Structure formats: structure tokens, C-alpha cells
Amino acid sequence: MNTIPSIFNERQINRTVLGGKELMRDVKMKVSVILLNKRGSQFRIPMIENLLKCGFESIVSIENSTDNFNIEEFSHKFPYVKFVIPLESATDGELINIGMAEVNSDYVLVLRDTLKIDGEILTARIAEKLSMEKLFCVVPRLVERDGSSFPIVFSPGVNGTQFEVLHSSTVIDGCPTLYPLDYIGYYDRKAFMQLGGYDYTIKESHWQNLDLCFRAWLWGHRIKLTTLFSLAYASDIPVEDVSANLSYSRFYMKNLLPRFEDDHGVIPKSSIFVYLLRSGCGLVESLRQFFDARSWVRRNMYRFKFDAKYLIENWGKI
């Protein structure tokens, strides 16, 4: 596994960028949109038309592969929209990192084409209220395509000695959540970049998402749900793969292993024995990963405000 990234967007993805040469017309809010695409291009035109009507400062539409041959046509039809086509395999988190680097707005709304994007999904008035909260991420209420609720509220917990994520479908405006499901949320772009963005060395989506958001909490940021706007899925809701694997191991080292002592975070040398029992790697690789994580925590030691134990014990009070 590669060394933990030390700066935002450390791995540069080869990509083609089309469009976005003309300034957006009728801008109503200093908010940009990153649209992650996986479905067929037949859904793209009405989605982009609706997003343009909302008055966002800029829109970045990101493909998940080079297989869509209609992008050049789209870029001519929508000259205000920037279309990004990665030329190599990339995780969703890496694609969002690219999008964050392509925009200049203070706040960014991350969406997917698996959502029903019709009508005015976000108004300038609501965007202003969300920005005033000064949160790392505000998560909209998500519902199934028929309008029914499903678990989108996540909190940290412990089952015996094992970390676990607890789920709830009860949404209260302003309630904390550990992370935004499916990456969908209203992000503070500056905070996102200061946190380093998504770790490209974590390949599994669930752990990549949780890694950044757990770090945000440990470093003093907050993530909350809002009922001011909601979004519905147009297709089946996502099923997260939460199995423990190498991605979990990287998350564990960066977020669960550090301890907060006095005014800083640290991974004690004695923690190596705990990690060796959990790593699932050979001795040499486990040692390399442990000392890499220890070095990363040392570089960021004064950014920690508390540790995972404190976060779990005081969830809902922070």
C-alpha cells in the first residue's frame, strides 16, 4: 500500500477537460456543483438543464470512465459546464478531489446522476443559511424513489472492542452524522482541501468516505443533517461494503489508533502490538504501514482536537 498522502490531491489523475470556457449566466449563489455520473448519457441533458436553472456559480460533470462518446456533443450544447473525463481508473473520492480543484467557489454541492435532479433543488436563500452554519459538510435528507425513508444518520459506536457505525433513519434538522451517504453533501471547499481531501490509497468507497469525515470530526469540524432541502434517488439506494479489508486497515491507523495527549495527537509505540493483531498483512508490510501512519500523525499532531474514544463517548455533545 502507498504512503499516506500529505497534501490535497497529491495523486494527479490523467484526464481530459472539455467545456467550461464561458462564464455561467444568471448566477444566484456562490456555490458550485460536482456531478458524479455513472448512468447512461440519456439522463444527462435534463439533469444539466435543471442544474443550470438553479443559478450555481459553476458546474463540473465528471464521468467515471472514457466510454461515454457523447461528452464532446454535451460540451458544445452546454458551454458553461466543465466536463471531466478521467483517463485512468479512479475512486469516487479521487473524482471529487478533481472536481474541488476545478472550481473556485467557497461551497460545493456534490451530487450523483442516480438522484432525481429536477426542479429547483437548492435556492440561494437556503444556500446562504447552510453556509452560515460554518460546517465542514451539510447533508441533505435523502429518500428512496417512492419518498420513503432509509438510514442516512450515522454515529460512531463500539461493539465489544470493535468499532462500528450505527445507523438510523430518524432525521432531525441539525442532528450530527458521522459522514454523508454516497458522498452527497454541501461542502466547505476550503476545509475540504485543508483536510487533505479523500485518500487515494483507500480504495473501498465506504472507508474512503469515512476516513475523511472521521478525520474532520477529530480535527474539530462538524457534519450535520438538514431538512431544509431533500433529494430522492431515481434508482436503487446504494449498499455500502463495510467489510474489514486493507482499506479499513488504513482508516483504522489514521483515525482509531491515534490518542490525544495534552494538546496533540500521537500514536504510541506500544500500539504496534494492537495493530499487528489487526493488520492482516505480513510482518514487514505491517511495520511499514504502522510507522508511516505514526509519521503522518506526527506531521498533523496539533490539528487533532480529541481522539476516537472521546468522539464516541461524547457523540451528540460536540
CA–CA separation, 313 and 309 (whole Å)? 6
pLDDT at 245: 86
Grid cell of 115 as nine digits: 438522484
pLDDT at 153: 98
pLDDT at 42: 66
- 125 by DSSP, 3-state: which? helix
Residue boundaries of the structural domains of the chain: 15-232, 246-313
Residue 195 per-residue DSSP state: T
CA–CA separation, 81 and 61 (whole Å)? 7
Q: Which residue has the cell 461515454?
A: 68
Sign of CA dihedral 271, 276, 279, 281: positive
CA–CA separation, 181 and 238 (whole Å)? 8
Q: Pairing state of beta strands 153-159 and 137-143? A: unpaired
Residue 115 per-residue DSSP state: B
Residue 255 per-residue DSSP state: I
Alpha helices in the chain (DSSP H): 44-54, 71-77, 92-102, 124-132, 189-194, 205-218, 246-251, 271-278, 283-299, 308-313
CA–CA separation, 141 and 232 (whole Å)? 8
Asked whether 114 and 39 are in contact (CB, 8 A), the reply is: yes
Q: pLDDT 10s per residue in the chain (318 long)?
A: 678 887 787 788 999 999 998 889 899 999 999 999 987 666 788 999 999 999 999 999 998 776 666 788 888 899 999 999 999 999 999 999 999 999 999 999 999 999 999 889 999 999 999 999 999 999 999 999 999 999 999 999 999 889 999 999 999 999 999 999 999 999 999 999 999 999 999 999 999 999 999 999 999 999 999 999 999 999 889 899 898 888 999 999 999 999 999 999 999 999 998 888 777 778 888 889 899 999 999 999 999 999 999 999 999 998
- Options 3.20.20.80, 3.40.30.10, 3.90.550.10, 3.40.50.450; CATH for 15-232 is 3.90.550.10
Q: What is the dihedral of CA 52, 53, 56, 57, to 10 degrees?
A: 60
Cβ neighbors of 76 (< 8 A, separation 6 or more) are 19
pLDDT at 254: 96
pLDDT at 253: 94
Alpha helices in 62-181 (DSSP H): 71-77, 92-102, 124-132
Grid cell of 43 as nine digits: 439522463
Distances in Å between the Cα of 265 and the Cα atoms of 218, 248, 261, 273, 293 are 9, 20, 6, 19, 12
Asked whether 90 and 113 are in contact (CB, 8 A), the reply is: no
- pTM equals 0.95
